[in-house]
Structure 1
Amino acid sequence: MIESMRIGIVCYPSVGGSGVMATELGHELAKRGHEVHFITYAIPFRLRLQEKNIFFHEVEIDEYDLFQYPDYALTLAVKISEVAEENDLDILHTHYAIPHATSAYLARKILRKKRPKIITTLHGTDITLVGKNPSYSRIVKFSIEESDGVTAVSKDLKAKTQQHFGIEKEIEVIYNFFIPKPEVMGDKSLRGYFASEEEKLIIHASNFRPVKRALDVLRIYCRIKEKIGAKLLLVGSGEALGEVRKEVADKGIERSVHFLGHSREIDRFVAASDLFLLPSEQESFGLVALESMAYGIPVVASKVGGVPEVVEDGKTGFLAPVGAIDEMAEKALKILSDPILYETMSRNGQQRAGELFSPQRIVGEYEAYYRKILDTP
């Protein structure tokens, strides 16, 4: 039994993967008896404040005429220092390198007495996108190196971080986890709203940034539709969605493609579908692929980033090079047209998700890592 710890979690409260994982990690830690304090500018959308050992501290952002932009990093640092001092925190777990790890570093400098250990979890775009921006590169490197412990959500992200920033500090790989909802498992009740019994239901969910290659999703679907009856669900919102809508209209397939917009919980849509498409240009982990596997839905994805660490090619789905639209369509058709292969991949996916990416396993790894860092002088 690990002794109870007081943990501050600093994350984005939005629907992105880093915020989702930070929130679910906090809930699981609280269930294990740890005191968990969330510090951010809004209540994380999955945070259940009614649960025991969970606390929320709002960072208020004031705007002054002197500042052209809100000074979130500074107000966050002050709030972190206040919460750490008032609640005698042992650990500050920051998700995303900047500004969270940077603000935690400043907060610790403010504190005069007990200074909590800082653990920074790298989720992806803080390294592969923001971190490579010359305007931020040096502060990202500094914030990582000044953290007491650093974790990455995949081996690929660890390697990219070390290579790009020349990081010598040890980085621990701790994967993301996913908790499927028992009441959703095998629930196909939503299928009838979108597809007939003879049709296949294909899904993609993302924030529709260019890196997600949403037009590839549509074009893969169109090739599938040439061979079998199928409908497409697009869950989410983002800048790249406009060009997808335009191409759908140009092709005259408005009745075949369903734009569902932003959804806080996509579980039922995923569980009701037959296949998940993830042709991204970059994925540091691929949380939606894990979610799909957990519900027994095979995945066809790009062989990029951390995705091959999640999706086992040929066993829980298929992987192909980025932009290989014809190959992805061919592999999707192979899965959808072969009931025996489909059932095998579905079963393999659930088994892999349950064994390698369960909360019992991953949260235990975080607990052990916290204790290791706390025991290090």
Structure 2
Amino acid sequence: MAVSEQTSVIESLGYVVSFIPTHSNKWSKLRKLFAIFYSGFFLRREIVKEDVNFIWFHGGEFYSLVRKYLILSFATFLLKKKPKVILSLHSPTIENMMNSRIKKVFLSHFIKRSDCTTVVSSWWKEYIESYLPISNLFVLNNVVQSVTSETEKVSNIERFNSRKVLFMSRLVEGKGAEVVVEVAKMLPQYSFSIAGDGPLLTTLKNRVTSLKLTNVNFLGWISDRDKAEVINSSAIFFLPSKRDSFGMGYIECMAHGVPVIGLDYKAIPSIISQGGMLVNPFNCVESSASAIHALLSDLSKYNCYASAALELSEKYSPKAIAPALKEILR
């Protein structure tokens, strides 16, 4: 979602964008290897035709960056005229790279080879700069569309009265889904919806069954088409994640005026800011339960956080992001 929304803003600035997939978990190892050469060949052909002004690489984990680096090397080998290279870093595994000498050297070299490198928050910019002496690093926030349709808008009182808490993420280690179940145990008066799929689904369902919880619902993976309805039917978005470099769910829910709760952990405070509540990551279950109850037992406080969430989401709107993109692409 973050990439597609960003692409829409770039296109609104008058650029034509071509998307080249370089990886899929559904691909065989042979196809993944072939994709590196195909992508490099395609890029090189377009560069030679002088149809490419810039190449934008969205780098994830280490091997994702290696693939992109190989594609770049093949596409620009021995070419005199090369397009501008932009590298976008948005994976929380950057920390792991900094703790590995080889990976750190590789990342440093890739960044220096790029004309511009972007990160998704000021926290990540400061973190990377504390390890690498680089000057071409910029903050480019992720983009979320503002909610304009009247059918998508729900009043604060409707949400407040629903008493529903939404967790929406991939069900993997570090995202905090297991915390949601334990919090639900402490707050039987509220309803908790877990939206997402992943390897922890069975474990989570077994835990809910063993605790005999009747206030936890598993919604499965939510499509983009149904996401607005799920968000609008919730009073709070709760994502106690230690694995997110940004957390699109936070700003998507804030754009609907839904208060969010996350951990006071690494980059998350720079995203949530005043649009939600931060809880102690070392006393996560108890502090989260207290935060949820504080919001859902006081309508006045809830209204304040809902208004703040909506206001903060404008920071991530296409209109707000466009000037930064213009500067990067000029």
Q: Deviation string for 1:322-343 (max 9, x for gaps)?
A: 1421011101100011001111
CA deviations 1:240-289 (Å, max 9, x no partner) are 22321111111122x43222222231222112100011111132222211
**Which consecutive residues of structure 1, in runs of 5 or more, have no partner in the other structure?**
1-19, 44-59, 372-377
2:249 to 266, 270, 288: 288
Q: Percent identity?
A: 20
**Alpha-carbon distance change, 241 to 142 in structure 1, aligned in 2, over 3 angstroms:** farther
Whether the 8 Å contact between 2:167 and 2:180 is mirrored in structure 1 is: yes
Return the alpha-carbon distance in structure 2 between the equivalents of residues 199 and 99 of structure 1.
47
Of residues 326-335 and 137-146 in structure 1, the stretch that sits farther from structure 2 once superposed is 137-146
Superposition TM-score, scaled by structure 2 size: 0.86
Which residue in 2 is equivalent to 1:200? 163
Per the TM alignment, residue 350 of structure 1 is displaced from its structure 2 partner at its CA by: 0.4
Task: Confirm whether residue 298 of structure 1 aligns to residue 264 of structure 2.
Answer: no
- The alignment status of 1:259 with 2:218, answered yes or no, reads yes
Does the 8 Å contact 1:73/1:99 carry over to 2? no
CA distance in 1, matches of 2:79, 2:14: 28
1:178 aligned onto 2:153: no
In structure 1, the partner of 2:200 is 240
The worse-fitting range, judged by mean Cα deviation, of 205-214 and 325-334 is 205-214
Q: Does 1:114 align with 2:77?
A: no
Deviation at 1:72?
4.0
Q: Name the counterpart of 1:35.
A: 16
Give aligned pairs, total. 318
Contact 2:176–2:241 (CA under 8 A) maintained in structure 1: yes
Shift of 1:133: 5.9
Partner of 2:44: 81
What letter corresponds to residue 31 of structure 1 in structure 2?
S
The residue matched to 1:175 in structure 2 has which SS? Answer: coil
Equivalence map 1:313-352=2 (5 Å):
315-323=274-282, 324-352=284-312
Q: Which moved more, 1:95-104 or 1:140-149?
A: 95-104
SS at structure 2 position matched to 1:239: coil
Any conservation in 1 of the 2:36–2:71 contact (CA below 8 Å)?
no
Which of the residues 172, 177, 182 maps onto 1:214? Answer: 177
1:63 maps to 2:30? yes
The within-5 A match list for 1:363-374 is 363-371=322-330
Q: Distance in 2 between matches of 1:267 and 1:199?
A: 16
Pick the structure with more helix per residue. 2
Q: Deviations over 1:216-240 (max 9, x none)?
A: 1211222222xx2x22111111222
The one-letter amino acid of 2:3's match is A
Aligned partners of 1:185 and 1:283: how far apart in 2?
27
Q: Secondary structure at the match of 1:70?
A: helix
Structural RMSD (CA) = 2.8
- Secondary structure of the 2:7 match is helix
**Counterpart in the other structure of 2:317:** 358
Q: Is the 8 A contact 2:146 2:317 kept in 1?
A: no
- Using a 3 Å threshold, how does the CA distance of structure 1 residues 336 and 214 change in structure 2: closer, same or farther? same
TM-score, length basis structure 1 = 0.76
What displacement does 1:167 show?
A: 4.0
Is the Cα–Cα contact under 8 Å of residues 175 and 240 in structure 2 kept in the other structure? Answer: yes
Shift in Å, 1:294 = 1.0
Unaligned runs of 5+ in 2: none
Deviation of residue 100 (structure 1)? 5.5
Please state whether the residue corresponding to 1:176 is helix, strand or coil.
Answer: coil
Distance change in 2, residues 1:302/1:76 (3 Å): same
Give the direction of change, closer, same or farther, for the CA distance of 1:201–1:158 in structure 2 (3 Å limit). same
What SS class does the counterpart of residue 39 from structure 1 fall into? coil
Q: Secondary structure at the match of 2:20?
A: strand
